[in-house]
Amino acid sequence: MARYVAKRLLSLVPVLFGVSLIVFFLVRLIPGSALEMYMGTQVEATPQQLEELKRIFGEDKPVPILYVQWLGRVLEGDFGYSLRTGRPVLPDILARLPVSLELTLLALLIALLVGIPQGVLASLTKNRVVDAANRMAGLLGLSLPQFWLAALMVLVFSGFRGWIPMGNYIRFVSNPLRNLLMLILPSLAIGVGLAAVIMRYTRNSMLEVLQADYIRTARAKGLKRRVVIVRHALKSAILPVITVAGFNTGYLLGGAIVIEEVFALPGMGRLALYAIYQRDYPVIQGIVLVIAALFVLVNILTDLLYAVADPRIRLDEAGR
Amino acid sequence: MKEPGADTPAPPHDASLLLEVEGLTTEFRTEQGRVAAVDRVSFQLHRGETLGLVGESGSGKSVTNLSILRLVPDPPGRVVAGRVGYRGKDLRTAAEEEVRVLRGRNISMIFQDPLTSLNPVLRISTQVQEALQLHHGLGGRQARAKAVEMLRLVGIPDAERRADDYPHQFSGGMRQRVMIAMALSCNPEILIADEPTTALDVTIQAQILELIKGLSARSATAVILITHDLGVVAGMCDRVCVMYAGRIVESAGVDELFSDPLHPYTRGLLDSIPRVDRAGGGRLHSIPGSPPSLIDMPDACPFHPRCPSAMDICRRAYPPETSRRAAGSDRARTVSCWLHAEVRGGPTQREPA
Amino acid sequence: MASGRFSRNSIAMTGAAIVALYLAVIVVAFFWVPFDPLAMDAAHALQPPSLASGHVFGTDEFGRDILSRIMRGCGVSLAISVAATALGALVGTFMGTWAGFRGGRWDHWIMRVADVLFSFPSLLLAIFVMAVLGEKSFNVVFAIGLVYIPQFARVSRGAVLAIRQADYVKAARSSGAGSGFILFRHLLPNILVPLVVQVSLSLSVAILLESALSFLGLGVQPPAPSWGNMLASARKAMVIAPWTAIYPGLAIVLLVLGFNLLGDGLRDVLDPRLRNVR
């Protein structure tokens, strides 16, 4: 088990290395360099000033060397400075992590609380019509574009202006209630789609497990239906759901770009979006690297969680 | 928390008759049509007796037993007719709750594949304890103690420690022992063993069968043993029912069956057993042809295409069940074959149900 | 035989019907739309839907007919999604099949590349690529296609690996079949099933991705209509003119639902294991 953990964590390294390569080199390919954009506002500059600017904007050396230098600094925790604001990149990124994290966790909570019971119920119904209706409802949830759902919610709830705080984001620590109110709509917008995914996976997994021989054994022992479903079926069926829930969590940390934009939440996705809009290279490099790293890390954690939950992996045949 | 209803004494009748199955019929709805996997099956099980149910794959033996306990998956299967008499009740038509109360407590079942029949994410101790906690109302610690005792009884070494293991940490033979422990933990009156050794190594098979034999003798548990192996039947059973294409074609005491098989199919099965003592070292005998498709079967003897003694009437009508009582035996033997059907005026003759 | 089951599967049929409807709309829109999708008419801006005025879905903030823009946008969105999925499927399947079949170092390195691509959340990767390539409709195909490469690589590699081990392949080999023969007769037909399902589901996600990109201004550029950029411009007007947001969104939802139903239904029909389960 410990070896499994170590192996998975070790696989982080080459992947992140590859990610950093792609990020760095692709960023350099973005047309309209920041220097040119900056220069647009200047009338003229002396050759020395030009040299200095080039150095600041990182355009004085060949790209591979710049990459190595950048990588070196990153490993020491120095992600450089934003071209737009001049502030250090890493602290800004980290400041936005809690926001994305809170949004993601709320959405996940909604999705699990709604999706799992629905999925279990859907797997148990024998009525063809109800079953088809359940499946369509699940697929419908998957088909809703988040930004549309968000827009509809804003529309519907615009009457509740007093309830939903608008304006600047309020952190959880300063005012928990207002913070949660601000995040309800965005988490719902994400949560509905995620609940549909969870419901489908739960239903499919339950259907497969219910066919298994050991469920027949459980029934042959005279166990009550509820016990068979919860203790025997659900316990195995939940495993693939762990995987998909974890995957989506990792995705949402950096991928909830549209929702953050619509609701003006200062999350990581939004930072990445604006950095790309503004061609702010250091920020782009930093945030994309962090988002990818988090995504991979969460996936690894999910795998580990799965391994712990499934005794067949947790305890191999040899040892205990 | 004990459950009511399972202790009602059986009404006075043949005091040793435990289970009476009459005309049991189970159908499956498939894309190609209706399949009568179990067709008008009747047999009796007496206290302490070991009844063998023999037949090829697809003959309906497993489904018969699932039908008794109403464990046939629905859809696509359904028990459509017949009577399963136990303790004065008809299990086929009784309420689901009444039947559930009996499962694991009065009537237990063990299955063919121990690999897939145990829940991989639950500990062995949990799985063995469940029945005890449910049916006998034992608390956690008591149930575990009893579970460990059962595991020891079935021959699991180091039972106290291994009880907390998971199924994948046990070998095939050990898992089957666990299944037996689970099934017998509540002292059922009837144990249904569905091909308990088919999936195991030959060397382990004998051990498991001995275990079943020993344990059932100890507590006078009646056993319905399903198998395709006549050798197992010879060693374990008191009475045998031979099944073909979903029907029982012959039933008799084990000695009677082996010494004087009446139905051509039974004879074919016995002849197919390779014998080292046969002089000449001739070819291995086998029954030509293959089992029929069970879809929309016509009213004829299902074995006639492969039968060496087939007559014209075999093609046209299903043979009635004929009873015969051998001298010195108080149990009748039956056979459904036109060769042995007596015309009117002869020994007892029964029309198919 | 499979077609019989398909027609009895209500989910697959509904999905197919929806997709067919959209295809019909595209064909019709090629020849005729109620109004010119680009014609601005300030006098009739933000008109609610009414049959009398001919603007069945109303007009947007520039007075353009929403229904016509939806119809035209349909062709664009679907074309981009199909092209992107095809690109991702071809490249990804090739990579995955190669990796699974050859194994060893090929497998290792190809899947490394796939893993790296896979570690970006798809929308972020697409946005990034659009920034690099330039915000043109055509480039969306590459952006989304790139996102799909690792997914198709994984699916096809998984299918190939599963089959390589299968007993019937060993049996074929032991009776003298060569690699090419095995590839065609055994591998390909069995990869087809998970691939077909994956394609259908990918098409649905592609529509969503394209809409999201257009919504963010990084996809189809206005004034060309795309459901995504229609929703973007509707954001301001939507409080007083909800139809500007509702109808384009509905168009997306319905088509995505259609592809999802189709994919789900296909999986039912083609997967032999699930056949006798309701």
- Could you report the per-residue pLDDT of B58-70, keeping only the tens digit for each? 778 888 888 988 8
Confidence check on the interface: ipTM exceeds 0.85, yes or no: no
DSSP code at position A32: S
Mean pLDDT of B184-206: 86
B276: nearest Cα among B287, B284, B288, B268: B284
Question: Which residue bears the tokens 């220097």?
Answer: A35
Per-residue pLDDT at B351 exceeds 80: no
Residue A317 has what pLDDT? Answer: 41
Mutate to test the interface with A, among C14, C70, C128 (most CBs of A within 10 A): C128
Quickly state the pLDDT bin for C256 (edges 50, 70, 90). Answer: very high
- Touching check for C238 and chain A: CB below 8 Å? yes
Mutate to test the interface with A, among B169, B179, B186, B226 (most CBs of A within 10 A): B169
Q: Which of A220, A224, A232 sits opposite B119 (nearest CB)?
A: A232
- The whole-angstrom distance between A214's CA and the closest CA on chain B is 4
The tens digit of pLDDT for each residue in B273-328 reads 776 666 556 666 777 777 777 777 777 888 888 888 878 888 888 888 888 776 66
Mean pLDDT of B215-229: 88
The tens digit of pLDDT for each residue in A127-140 reads 778 888 888 888 89
Residue B6 has what pLDDT? Answer: 52
Phi, psi (degrees; rounded to nearest 5) at B113? -105, 100
Per-residue pLDDT at A114 exceeds 90: yes
Cα nearest neighbour of C278 on chain B: B75
Residue B10 has what pLDDT? Answer: 45
Mean pLDDT of B152-161: 88
Cα nearest neighbour of A306 on chain B: B121
Distance CA C25, CA B131 (A): 62
Contacts of B306 (CB under 8 A, 6+ apart): B265, B268, B287, B288, B289, B290
Contacts of C181 (CB under 8 A, 6+ apart): C172
Quickly state the pLDDT bin for C269 (edges 50, 70, 90). Answer: confident
- The whole-angstrom distance between C208's CA and the closest CA on chain A is 6
Please calculate the CA angle B226-B231-B233 and round it to the nearest 5 degrees: 40
Per-residue pLDDT at B345 exceeds 50: no
Residue C85 has what pLDDT? Answer: 94
Mean pLDDT of A142-169: 74
Please calculate the CA angle B261-B266-B271 and round it to the nearest 5 degrees: 90
Quickly state the pLDDT bin for A316 (edges 50, 70, 90). Answer: low
Mean pLDDT of B191-204: 86
The tens digit of pLDDT for each residue in A175-206 reads 777 788 788 888 999 999 999 999 989 998 99
Q: Which of C235, C246, C257 sits opposite A140 (nearest CB)?
A: C257
Per-residue pLDDT at A109 exceeds 90: yes
- Touching check for B175 and chain A: CB below 8 Å? no
Mean pLDDT of A29-45: 63
Instruction: Show which of residues 111-170 on chain B sit within 8 Å of chain A, judged by CB atoms.
Output: 111, 113, 116-122, 130-131, 134-135, 165-166, 168-169
Mean pLDDT of C83-100: 90
Residue A318 has what pLDDT? Answer: 41
Chain-wide mean pLDDT for chain A?
82
Question: Which residue bears the tokens 């067919």?
Answer: C20
Taking CA atoms, A94 is separated from A77, A169, A266, in Å, by 12, 16, 11
Q: Which of A213, A223, A239 sits opposite B116 (nearest CB)?
A: A213
Write out chain B residues lying below 8 Å of C276, CB-based: 30, 75-76
Q: CB–CB of C208 and A145 under 8 A?
A: yes
Quickly state the pLDDT bin for A245 (edges 50, 70, 90). Answer: very high
Distance CA C217, CA C226 (A): 11
Mean pLDDT of A168-178: 71
Q: Which of A207, A261, A292 sits opposite C120 (nearest CB)?
A: A292
Residue C184 has what pLDDT? Answer: 62
| Least confident segment among A162-166, A249-253, C131-135 | A162-166
- The whole-angstrom distance between A289's CA and the closest CA on chain C is 9
Distance CA B318, CA B338 (A): 8
Contact pairs from chain A to chain B, CB under 8 Å? 82
**Cross-strand partners of B77:** B28
Contact B332, B251 (CB under 8 A): no
Which chains form contacts with chain C, at 3 or more CB pairs under 8 Å? A, B
C-alpha of B111 from chain center: 11
Quickly state the pLDDT bin for B226 (edges 50, 70, 90). Answer: very high
Phi, psi (degrees; rounded to nearest 5) at B108? -115, 160
Write out chain B residues lying below 8 Å of C278, CB-based: 75
Per-residue pLDDT at A99 exceeds 70: yes
Q: What pTM was computed for the model?
A: 0.82
Residue C255 has what pLDDT? Answer: 92
* Higher local confidence (pLDDT), A104 or A277: A104
Mutate to test the interface with B, among C1, C274, C276, C278 (most CBs of B within 10 A): C276
Per-residue pLDDT at C238 exceeds 80: no
Write out chain B residues lying below 8 Å of C268, CB-based: none
Per-residue pLDDT at C52 exceeds 80: no
Most confident region among A154-168, B236-250, B310-324 by mean pLDDT = B236-250
Query: What helix, strand, coil percent values describe chain B, rounded to 5?
Result: 30, 25, 45
C140: nearest Cα among C129, C152, C156, C148: C129
- The whole-angstrom distance between C258's CA and the closest CA on chain B is 28
* Higher local confidence (pLDDT), A154 or A290: A290
| Least confident segment among A229-233, A309-313, B12-16 | B12-16
Per-residue pLDDT at C60 exceeds 60: yes
Contact B310, B300 (CB under 8 A): no
Residue B247 has what pLDDT? Answer: 87
Per-residue pLDDT at C50 exceeds 90: no
Distance CA A149, CA A164 (A): 17
The tens digit of pLDDT for each residue in C146-200 reads 999 998 998 888 888 877 777 666 676 677 666 666 666 666 677 787 888 889 8
Mean pLDDT of C12-38: 84
Per-residue pLDDT at B4 exceeds 60: no
Mean pLDDT of A28-50: 65
Write out chain C residues lying below 8 Å of A140, CB-based: 253, 257
Distance CA A137, CA A117 (A): 14
- The DSSP result for B5-62, as a single string, is TTTPPPPSSSTTEEEEEEEEEEEEEETTEEEEEEEEEEEEEETT-EEEEE--TTSSHH
Write out chain C residues lying below 8 Å of A157, CB-based: none
Quickly state the pLDDT bin for C274 (edges 50, 70, 90). Answer: very low
B221: nearest Cα among B110, B88, B71, B108: B108
Write out chain C residues lying below 8 Å of B30, CB-based: 276
Q: CB–CB of B30 and C278 under 8 A?
A: no
Mutate to test the interface with A, among C117, C124, C197 (most CBs of A within 10 A): C124
Contact pairs from chain A to chain C, CB under 8 Å? 130
- The CB-based long-range contact list for A58-62 (8 Å cut-off, 24+ gap) reads A58/A281, A59/A33, A59/A35
DSSP code at position C220: S
The tens digit of pLDDT for each residue in B26-73 reads 888 887 778 888 888 888 888 888 999 998 877 788 888 889 888 888
Chain-wide mean pLDDT for chain B?
82
Quickly state the pLDDT bin for B344 (edges 50, 70, 90). Answer: very low
Residue C8 has what pLDDT? Answer: 67
* Higher local confidence (pLDDT), B253 or C47: B253
Cα nearest neighbour of A317 on chain B: B169
Q: Could you give the percent of chain B with pLDDT greater than 90?
A: 7
Residue C207 has what pLDDT? Answer: 92
Mean pLDDT of C57-71: 82
Chain-wide mean pLDDT for chain C?
81
Which chains form contacts with chain B, at 3 or more CB pairs under 8 Å? A, C
Residue A191 has what pLDDT? Answer: 92
* Higher local confidence (pLDDT), A3 or A271: A271
Reported as type and span, the H/E element at residue C111 is helix C104-118
Q: Which of A221, A224, A236 sits opposite B182 (nearest CB)?
A: A221
Quickly state the pLDDT bin for A111 (edges 50, 70, 90). Answer: very high
